[in-house]
Homo-oligomer: A and B are copies of this chain.
């Protein structure tokens, strides 16, 4: 069985394992106060061209989302999010567990629209009973989204402008950020992401690390949210995200942000996965297979018949995404840093033979 189910089916990029082995006996203080972390933080700030930013490492995505969001909101406030957003749909209510409502907006292929943010904000404050309603107080988007789609630069600029006009911190879930930044359709850079939002994270778990998410408080707003990251380490600890051997996060991000000819190891890994996904997508298109959503990144969402699912399923694992009204099923194929060319070829062959 060859797995195209998810982008976390293997361990870590071999360079990370090597570096962990090399540094294994170095002695460091715990909880992220070590030199590896310091260095990785500096590398990330440089990569983001955001010298005023503040970087923190956490272990996983759900933990990061809950920690960041609950650190920003007051008790009566909620976070605006696409109805398909990860925090709304797939984190077992981790945000509600911290006491906050996820206020959903319409999802357009996983994305939200700036105008919908403005409308939700305006509607709240225009409602005579607004004190009886959760106050929308920050915006969560994912880049790429849960459907592998990405926002264009102009879309991000519009959302950012709406957020800053209304003093809504903008938080970008970058669990798969690299796949977004390096796909063909992308016209935005890492520094631009950092400039347009107030806090985001650079996902490691799904992009070559054993685990890890690097949170960046950008401090980039003209009128800054001065205290957004205030005492954030307390929040990390309280939410169970402060790794005793914090160095493991620093070491991994040092490797991921090593410069390469084309960027960093982090983006090279992702670009390669995107290429593999494109090859698979093209084979599906050639076969006349529909897509539930048109995604330019490492996750693709073809719509298969039961016969096709069964046939492909003999040798390849995929994720069943959702049954469709017409009896077909939207499935997900995922590539990653670890996807092997020969496995892609085998899958393409199987698709051709459907």
B245 x A63 contact (CB < 8 A): no
Tell me which of B2, B20, B21, B234 contacts A76 (CB under 8 A).
B234
Determine the residue in chain B with the shortest Cβ distance to A206: B244
- Least Cβ distance of A256 to chain B in Å? 15
**Chain B residues in 8 Å Cβ range of A317:** 27
A186–B60 Cα gap in the complex (Å)? 37
A238–B90 Cα gap in the complex (Å)? 10
**Chain B residues in 8 Å Cβ range of A296:** none
Tell me which of B231, B234, B248 contacts A11 (CB under 8 A).
B248
Determine the residue in chain B with the shortest Cβ distance to A26: B10
Task: Let me know if A51 is at the binding interface, CB within 8 A.
Answer: no
**Chain B residues in 8 Å Cβ range of A243:** 59-60, 211
A92 x B76 contact (CB < 8 A): yes
A135 x B210 contact (CB < 8 A): no
Task: Let me know if A100 is at the binding interface, CB within 8 A.
Answer: yes
B62 x A237 contact (CB < 8 A): yes
- Least Cβ distance of A216 to chain B in Å? 19
Task: Let me know if A153 is at the binding interface, CB within 8 A.
Answer: no
**Chain B residues in 8 Å Cβ range of A211:** 59, 243-245, 248
| Most-contacted residue by chain B among A59, A240, A242 (CB, 10 A) | A240
Task: Let me know if A53 is at the binding interface, CB within 8 A.
Answer: no
B9 x A30 contact (CB < 8 A): yes
Q: Which of A297-353 contact B (CB under 8 A)?
A: 317, 320, 338
Q: For the complex of A and B, list the 7 residue pairs with the smallest distance between their C-beta atoms, beginning with the closest.
A: A63-B240, A76-B234, A11-B24, A93-B134, A92-B238, A3-B27, A92-B237
